[in-house]
């Protein structure tokens, strides 16, 4: 007996809007290929409200370097053709990931201009090669944009923007840009609802980053010659990874969560007490310190450490684990701490501790159990050193709640 249900083409019974929605989950190359299925499918992909292009989809892993140019040309022809064929009235998102080996591509500017014609809500551009990219002025005058990411492992050419008018932009991420006073002031004034700012690998030439609107700031691997003051009373979360930059934090009255990594080896370290003062309202703090210079200056400046009256969770890492007395000194300023996380990384060392060593501890920290409810120890290897760390904890603390240890495999 014939099974009518099995023979029924139920996909063809679906409404066009549902098929377009399904196509939007495919890679754009696969979506375009559906045009050969039937007459009905020929133009369905042109209504997809997103255009996501990734050069990796066109570039086989085993291709010879001499053939790369051929694949680049195919990729550029494909992107150009797809962007010219657009039947949806607006573009929700435009995403370009391009590992260009040739070092030059004028097409990127044209693609950006083409995408802007459809008033996108989101633009994400990642170029992982050194080339000159001429950014169009209209990129910073797009009223529909809510999120923009511009990650360039290359030289980005842009004229000083006469105007920045991004009235809907809430999230902005820039990589390998030069952030000077002119640009940061234009961004803060031209993005009235900006809440989330990420700067990666940037040369920061501004003296102050100030805002009354930003809620989330992430600054990673930045370089600066002068000290940068960050003053953002509206800020809720802050992440700073600093090795070659000098920072001061002020007016962080709304701060809830912060992660600060300071690395100082052969450079003048950051003024740690100014950073700690800016973090003093946080409820959750992750503090990572590496470099002998940074450790020495922290030791010197902890006497000026503010009280972290709101702090419930503290995560410490790096050289502070080697010198646990630094942690003990810091804990004197955390009266309401409930959870302490210690991450021991190889090849950091711990001091040799014996039970008799408790007499030599210069300062004993006594915290009631109702405050410290949990001590978490994260380690990568060498369980004996973790046992050492537990022994150190028993010496410094009169009472501790639970001690939880777990191995984290990198």
Q: Is the pLDDT of residue 97 over 70?
A: yes
* Residues above pLDDT 90, as percent of the chain: 28
pLDDT at 104: 60
pLDDT band per the 50, 70, 90 thresholds, residue 231: very high
> What's the average model confidence in pLDDT over 327-349?
80
Residue 409 lies in a domain: yes
**Are 387 and 320 within one domain?**
yes
Structure tokens of 339? 């959870």
pLDDT band per the 50, 70, 90 thresholds, residue 191: very high
Q: Is the pLDDT of residue 173 over 90?
A: yes
- The range of the structural domain enclosing residue 153 comes to 49-169
**Are 186 and 302 within one domain?**
yes
Tell me the three state secondary structure of residue 358.
Answer: helix
Residue 87 lies in a domain: yes
pLDDT at 198: 96
How many residues does this entry show for the chain? 410
Q: Is the pLDDT of residue 357 over 50?
A: no
| Domain closes at, from 169, 194, 218 | 169
pLDDT at 94: 95
pLDDT at 130: 63
pLDDT at 355: 42
- By mean pLDDT, which of 120-124, 197-201, 331-335, 341-345 is the weakest? 341-345
pLDDT at 190: 95
Q: What's the CA angle centered on 150, arms 148 and 153, to 5 degrees?
A: 165
Residue 65 lies in a domain: yes
Distance separating alpha carbons of residues 30 and 99, to the nearest angstrom: 20
pLDDT at 169: 98
Residue 141 lies in a domain: yes
Distance separating alpha carbons of residues 194 and 276, to the nearest angstrom: 26
DSSP states of 260-296 as a string? Answer: EEEE-SSSPPP-HHHHHHHHTT-SEEEEEEESHHHHH
**Are 182 and 300 within one domain?**
yes
Residue 163 lies in a domain: yes
| Domain closes at, from 149, 169, 189 | 169
**Are 302 and 323 within one domain?**
no
**Are 234 and 251 within one domain?**
yes
Residue 225 lies in a domain: yes
Distance separating alpha carbons of residues 105 and 120, to the nearest angstrom: 22
pLDDT at 40: 73
Q: Is the pLDDT of residue 131 over 70?
A: no
Q: What's the first-to-final CA gap in the chain, in angstroms?
A: 58
Higher-scoring residue by pLDDT: 388, 172: 172
> What's the average model confidence in pLDDT over 197-204?
90
pLDDT at 71: 82
pLDDT at 397: 72
Tally Cβ neighbours within 10 Å of residue 334: 22
| Domain closes at, from 148, 169, 190 | 169
Q: What is the average pLDDT value for the chain, to the nearest integer?
A: 80
Query: Which of 210-224, 289-303, 323-337 has the highest average model confidence (pLDDT)?
Result: 210-224
**Are 99 and 147 within one domain?**
yes
Q: Is the pLDDT of residue 378 over 70?
A: yes
Distance separating alpha carbons of residues 199 and 258, to the nearest angstrom: 16
> What's the average model confidence in pLDDT over 146-152?
94
Q: Is the pLDDT of residue 394 over 90?
A: no
**Are 103 and 191 within one domain?**
no
Domain tally, the chain:
3
pLDDT band per the 50, 70, 90 thresholds, residue 95: very high
**Are 205 and 126 within one domain?**
no
**Are 395 and 380 within one domain?**
yes
Q: Is the pLDDT of residue 102 over 60?
A: no
pLDDT band per the 50, 70, 90 thresholds, residue 201: confident
Q: Is 398 left (phi over 0), alpha (psi -120 to 50) or beta?
A: alpha
For residue range 23-76, list pLDDT tens digits in order: 777 788 888 877 767 777 778 888 888 999 998 888 776 666 667 778 888 888
pLDDT at 369: 42
Residue 264 lies in a domain: yes
**Are 235 and 342 within one domain?**
no
Higher-scoring residue by pLDDT: 129, 363: 129
Residue 113 lies in a domain: yes
- By mean pLDDT, which of 98-102, 289-293, 363-367 is the weakest? 363-367
**Are 161 and 197 within one domain?**
no
pLDDT band per the 50, 70, 90 thresholds, residue 328: confident
Q: Is the pLDDT of residue 363 over 60?
A: no
Q: Is the pLDDT of residue 148 over 80?
A: yes
> What's the average model confidence in pLDDT over 270-282?
82
pLDDT at 360: 47
Q: Is the pLDDT of residue 358 over 60?
A: no
Tokens 């633009």 found at: 123
**Are 150 and 182 within one domain?**
no
Higher-scoring residue by pLDDT: 309, 222: 309
**Long-range contact set of residues 280-283: C-beta below 8 Å, sequence gap at least 24:** 280/252, 280/306, 280/307, 280/308, 280/309, 281/252, 281/253, 281/254, 281/255, 281/310, 282/252, 282/255, 282/256, 282/257, 282/258, 282/308, 282/310, 282/311, 283/256, 283/257, 283/310, 283/311, 283/312, 283/313
pLDDT at 331: 85
Residues 102-124: b if buried by 16+ CB within 10 A, e if exposed: eeebebbbebbebbbebebbbbb
* Residues above pLDDT 70, as percent of the chain: 77
């Amino acid at each position: 007996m014939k099974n009518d249900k099995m023979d029924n083409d139920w996909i063809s019974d679906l409404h066009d809007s549902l098929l377009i929605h399904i196509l939007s989950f495919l890679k754009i190359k696969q979506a375009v290929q559906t045009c050969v299925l039937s007459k009905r499918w020929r133009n369905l992909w042109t209504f997809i409200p997103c255009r996501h292009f990734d050069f990796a989809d066109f570039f086989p892993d085993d291709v010879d370097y001499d053939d790369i140019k051929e694949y680049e040309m195919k990729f550029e022809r494909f992107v150009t053709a797809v962007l010219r064929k657009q039947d949806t009235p607006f573009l929700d998102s435009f995403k370009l990931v391009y590992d260009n080996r040739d070092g030059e591509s004028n097409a990127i500017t044209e693609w950006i201009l083409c995408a802007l014609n459809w008033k996108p809500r989101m633009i994400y551009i990642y170029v992982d090669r050194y080339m000159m990219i001429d950014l169009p002025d209209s990129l910073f005058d797009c009223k529909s944009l809510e999120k923009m990411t511009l990650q360039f492992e290359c030289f980005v050419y842009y004229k000083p923007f006469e105007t920045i008018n991004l009235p809907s932009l809430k999230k902005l991420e820039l990589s390998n840009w030069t952030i000077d006073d002119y640009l940061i002031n234009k961004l803060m004034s031209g993005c009235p609802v900006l809440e989330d700012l990420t700067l990666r690998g940037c040369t920061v030439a501004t003296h102050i980053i100030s805002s009354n609107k930003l809620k989330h700031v992430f600054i990673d691997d930045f370089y600066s010659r002068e000290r940068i003051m960050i003053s953002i009373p509206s800020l809720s979360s802050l992440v700073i990874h600093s090795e070659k930059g000098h920072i001061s934090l002020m007016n962080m009255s709304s701060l809830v969560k912060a992660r600060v990594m300071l690395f100082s080896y052969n450079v003048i370290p950051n003024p740690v007490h100014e950073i700690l003062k800016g973090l003093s309202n946080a409820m959750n703090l992750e503090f990572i310190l590496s470099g002998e210079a940074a450790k020495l200056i922290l030791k010197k400046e902890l006497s000026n450490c503010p009280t972290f009256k709101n702090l419930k969770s503290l995560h410490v890492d790096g050289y502070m684990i080697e010198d646990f007395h630094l942690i003990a000194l810091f804990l004197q300023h955390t009266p309401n701490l409930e959870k302490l996380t210690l991450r021991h990384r190889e090849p950091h060392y711990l001091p040799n501790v014996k039970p008799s060593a408790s007499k030599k501890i210069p300062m004993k920290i006594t915290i009631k159990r109702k405050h410290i409810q949990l001590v978490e120890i994260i380690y990568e290897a060498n369980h004996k050193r973790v046992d050492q760390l537990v022994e150190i904890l028993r010496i410094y603390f009169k009472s501790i709640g639970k001690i939880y240890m777990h191995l984290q495999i990198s």
